[in-house]
Amino acid sequence: MAEAKGLSKPVKLKSDLAGLLGETELPRTEITKKLWNYIKANKLQTKTANGKAENAGKFIVADANLLPVFKNTKSTSKSGKLTDLTKMKEGETIDMMQMAAVVGANIE
């Protein structure tokens, strides 16, 4: 069988993300899928920034389990946009477009 490459190649998860997902290594595609499954199962989406969770929308509400994962995120994209979630508090939201930065910040 051919070796997995790119997004299909398993990566090591940092401890907060590993604790949330119950895995120590996963491909990026599976990390994202499992995070979305958690978000949907716990109805952690809202239509407005820092709005109340309503199970729909483009913003993700940080609960007690997601907060440590989000707080590990401080990165600059190739376009120069800074994503700094280190001071985030429970109940605050991130835009779903920031999920790639969150995943990238929580793998080794």
Residue 1 lies in a domain: no
Q: Which residues pair with 94 in a beta bridge?
A: 60
Q: What's the average pLDDT block by block, 10 residues per block, for the chain (108 residues)?
A: 74 97 96 96 93 87 97 90 94 93 94
CATH number of the domain where residue 30 is located: 1.10.245.10
Number of domains in the chain: 1
The CA–CA distances, whole Å, from 75 to 10, 14, 69, 103, 108 equal 21, 15, 13, 11, 14
Residue 3 lies in a domain: no
Residue 68 lies in a domain: yes
Residue 41 lies in a domain: yes
Residue 55 lies in a domain: yes
Contact 13, 26 (CB under 8 A): yes
Residue 60, domain extent: 10-105
- 63 DSSP assignment: -
What is the pLDDT at residue 18? 98
What is the pLDDT at residue 50? 87
Provide the pairing of β-strand 82-84 with 74-76: antiparallel
Contact 97, 1 (CB under 8 A): no
Residue 45 lies in a domain: yes
User: pTM here?
Assistant: 0.88
